[in-house]
Amino acid sequence: MNVRLYVLQRASAAVMAPLLLIHLGVIFYASRRGLSASDILARTRGSLFWGAFYATLVVAAATHAAIGVRVVASEWTRWHGGMLEALMWACGLLLAALGLTAVAAVVLV
Amino acid sequence: MNGKRGEPNTGGHRRDPLWLAAWLHRISGLALAAFLPLHFLVFALVLSSKAALDGFLRWTANPAVKVAEAGLVFLLTLHLLGGIRILLLENLPWFAGHKQLVAGALLTASMLALVFLVRAA
């Protein structure tokens, strides 16, 4: 892992840490009496705050996970060079695309 | 951790709690990365219809799914607290007590998962 990826990995972790503490709180609060689409959408639909919150979390998580998967693959497999780069980008882009689609679905639609 | 100078590495470091913590951090991170696409796809169900999301959420009331969700709460909490410990380790002067922090993270993650399960029951 080069310095750029190391800094990105730690910076994304630092961004995510407080957001995940809030996310854990929301999980416990929202699941207190069972989840329903109406409950979720009542909180998120049209909300600039939750839209920005979850979009930031998705981008940070996609960055963090992609670099993390690259690190683990470099340690546990014989993959190297371009294969690791391809794995990292595929993982990051997939998570970012799916995550931002999910955020748009619960905030904008 | 790695045996004395000149002696072969017998793998003793693998019994060190901090090595276990690093291993758990990687395993929990991989598991969470594998789970995230499914998590996102569930919320994207709203794009087809609200009823589709409701149908899936009703399925999650299944006790086996609740146990799996408690497992995810455990993994997320463990990875989060383990990550905070790594950030502290790398950005603050060295301090004793990292093994206690690892034990605390395991205990907190287990307790939160248990509380989640009890509330869901």
Prediction ipTM score: 0.93
Counting every residue, how long is chain A?
109
Residue B106 lies in a domain: yes
Can you give the pTM of this predicted structure?
A: 0.90
pLDDT in tens, B24-55: 999 999 999 999 999 999 999 999 899 999 99
Please, which residues 5-24 of chain A have a Cβ atom closer than 8 Å to chain B? 10, 13-14, 16-17, 20-21, 24
Provide the pLDDT for residue B1.
46
* Per-residue model confidence (pLDDT) at position B95: 86
Tell whether A51 is within 8 A of chain B (Cβ). no
Q: What is the mean pLDDT of residues A14-27?
A: 96
Q: Which chain A positions have a beta carbon within 8 Å of B30's beta carbon?
A: 68-69, 72
Token representation of residue B22: 């690093």
* Cα separation, B74 vs B116, whole angstroms: 10
Domain boundaries, chain A: 3-107
CA–CA separation, B95 and B117 (whole Å): 35
- Residue B77 confidence (pLDDT): 97
CA distance B79 to chain A (A): 10
Cβ-defined contact of A14 to B87 (cutoff 8 Å) = yes
A102–B30 CB contact, under 8 Å: no
Number of domains in chain B: 1
Confidence band for A74, pLDDT divided at 50, 70 and 90: very high
> A30 and chain B: CB distance < 8 Å anywhere?
no
Residue B7 in domain? no
Q: Would you say residue B10 lies in a domain?
A: no
User: pLDDT at position B5, please?
Assistant: 66
Mean pLDDT value of segment A16-40: 90
The answer as to CATH 1.10.287.110 being correct for domain A3-107 is no
Is B73 inside a domain boundary? yes
From B47, B51, B77, residue closest to A109, measured CB to CB: B47
Number of CB pairs, chain A paired with chain B, less than 8 A apart = 96
Distances from the Cα of A90 to the Cα of A82, A97, B35, B57, B93, angstroms = 12, 11, 16, 29, 36
Q: What is the domain extent for residue B50?
A: 17-120
Task: Calculate how close chain B gets to A95, using CA atoms only, in Å.
Answer: 6
